[in-house]
Amino acid sequence: MDSNTSDKVYAALEKFRIELPSWGFANTGTRFGKFTQPAAATTTEEKFSDAGQVHLLTGVCPTVALHVLWDCPSGAQSTDDIRKFSEKYGVAPGSINPNIFQDQEYKYGSFGNPETSVRERALTHTHDSIEIARRLRSRDISLWFADGSNYPGTANIRQRKEWFQETLKKTHDALSPEQRMLVEYKPFEPDFYHTDIADWGMALLLARAAGPQAKVLVDTGHHYAAQNIEQIVAWLLSEEMLGGFHFNDRRYADDDLTLGSIDPYQVFRIFHEIHFFEWETEKLADIAYMVDQSHNLKGKIEAMIQTVEIAQQLFAKAALVNRKKLVAAQKSCDLVLAESLLQDAFATDVRPAIQDWRNSKGLPKDPREAFRQSGYLERITKERAAKNSRNVSSYA
Ligand code: RM4
Ligand code: MN
Ligand code: MN
């Protein structure tokens, strides 16, 4: 690799940070059941400890996303504990995810529930989450809704849209000037007929109506199989409405598999659109990169390190596209050349350059191997095994 190429990799890695999900370290499963892992985290402190390991070894995961119901059992009071964990384990709280889908009250929805009192309850929880974020100095409140219906005719789709508009606006009104709210969409699941925020267009309209601090969050697993996600990314960038990502890979639906495990070229194409936008417009794309995965079978910490490594590789590869040549090739409709510029960058082995970068930062060259050597997994397995043999009921 010539020095120009390794400089580009270095520059890309310098600006790439990715947030870990607290729930990615907890026992998760499918609707058929949960296979518990002896080393899985069952407390917020353990989740911080595990996230701290991933950051220690990779150096690029300084924050951990929190799910309010699972990580802040005492609401805003929990923030004192969280600050302590954050200091102890060297990772800061990141995006705050309200949970308005798990309680019994939300059987027929949250912001779209026909019952005023349930919508109010959901709004109160969201306001509490904003307060938690304020206390923790977290910028982003990340909103995902399970709202929808299972059968035609059972929900007033237009009316629910209005309730969403209203309640999202009230959410926006409670934000501090430096905070943002991210609106996530998902085509189906848990509901199978209609979902209130089913795609990026709906999320975009709702975010726009809510106010200037609302942006769209793209979860890569939340699309129909054939959808062109990088086009959605390009459009949201051009509308200055792309707020963040939940990264994961999928083969069928919202499979929450390891990023790049099924289709790494797609993730590369997404990153390319972002690099291309920044280069062409000379604007900074202010995007929160976050992981949203559930490793039901793989070891959780090891899989998270693997995810971060893949993310770095694909982000760095996408930085290698010769964009000057690309613009010229696109203009002259030199199709084969234009396409091959992406393919060449994708085919470049950036791993040695990433190792050099790690070396220059005093990080282990091979974070996964370093993790295996560290003894951390053996230690937590011993400490947590007994607790994990008992059944766990919540999702994470
Ligand atoms: C959803 C969505 C949300 C995540 C929950 C647990 O499918 O991806 O972002 O918080 O799962
Ligand atoms: Mn998500
Ligand atoms: Mn999901």
Please give the chain's pLDDT, 396 residues, in tens. 899 999 999 999 999 999 999 999 999 988 888 889 999 999 999 999 999 999 999 999 999 999 999 999 999 999 999 999 999 999 999 999 999 999 999 999 999 999 999 999 999 999 999 999 999 999 999 999 999 999 999 999 999 999 999 999 999 999 999 999 999 999 999 999 999 999 999 999 999 999 999 999 999 999 999 999 999 999 999 999 999 999 999 999 999 999 999 999 999 999 999 999 999 999 999 999 999 999 999 999 999 999 999 999 999 999 999 999 999 999 999 999 999 999 999 999 999 999 999 999 999 999 999 999 999 999 999 999 999 988 666 666
Question: Which residue, 244, 208, 236, is CA-closest to 94?
Answer: 244
The H or E element containing residue 143 is strand 140-143
Residues with CB under 5 A from ligand 3 (ion): 254
In the 8-state DSSP scheme, what is residue 226? T
Question: What does the alpha-carbon distance between residue 10 and residue 377 come to, in Å, rounded to a whole number?
Answer: 30
Burial 223-260 (b: 16+ CB within 10 A, else e): beeeeebbebbbbbbeeebbbbbbbbbbeeebebbbbb
Farthest-apart Cα atoms in the chain, separation: 65
Residues with CB under 6 A from ligand 1: 97, 144, 184, 186, 219, 246, 254, 292
| pLDDT confidence of residue 31 | 87
Backbone φ, ψ for residue 62 (5° rounding): -75, -10
Which tokens go with 102? 């798990």
Which tokens go with 307? 């995810």
In this structure, which amino acid lies at residue 134? Answer: R
In the 8-state DSSP scheme, what is residue 106? G
Question: What does the alpha-carbon distance between residue 354 and residue 360 come to, in Å, rounded to a whole number?
Answer: 10
Residues 150/141, Cβ–Cβ less than 8 Å: no
0.95 exceeded by pTM: yes
Q: Are strands 288-291 and 242-247 parallel, antiparallel or unpaired?
A: parallel
Which tokens go with 246? 């939940």
Question: What does the alpha-carbon distance between residue 124 and residue 141 come to, in Å, rounded to a whole number?
Answer: 14
Rounded distance from Cα 256 to ligand 1 centre (Å): 9
Q: Are strands 63-67 and 140-143 parallel, antiparallel or unpaired?
A: unpaired
Task: Kindly report the protein residue whose alpha carbon is nearest to atom 3 of ligand 1.
Answer: 144
Residues 92/85, Cβ–Cβ less than 8 Å: no
Reading phi first (left if > 0) and then psi (alpha if -120 to 50, else beta), residue 344 is in alpha
pLDDT digits (tens, 9 = 90+) for 33-92: 888 999 999 999 999 999 999 999 999 999 999 999 999 999 999 999 999 999 999 999
Ligand 1: nearest atom to the Cα of 184: 9
Ligand 1 pocket mutation pick from 69, 71, 140, 144 by most atoms within 8 angstroms of CB: 144
Alpha carbons within 13 angstroms on the beta-carbon side of residue 240 total 5
- Per the listing, tokens 């504990």 go with 81
Residues 284/278, Cβ–Cβ less than 8 Å: yes
Question: What does the alpha-carbon distance between residue 371 and residue 305 come to, in Å, rounded to a whole number?
Answer: 9
Rounded distance from Cα 144 to ligand 1 centre (Å): 6
Identify which ligand lies nearest to the alpha carbon of 221.
Answer: 3
What is residue 15's three-state secondary structure? helix
- Taking each helix axis from N to C end, the angle separating 264-281 and 323-331, rounded to the nearest 10 degrees, works out to 90
Which tokens go with 34? 């949960």
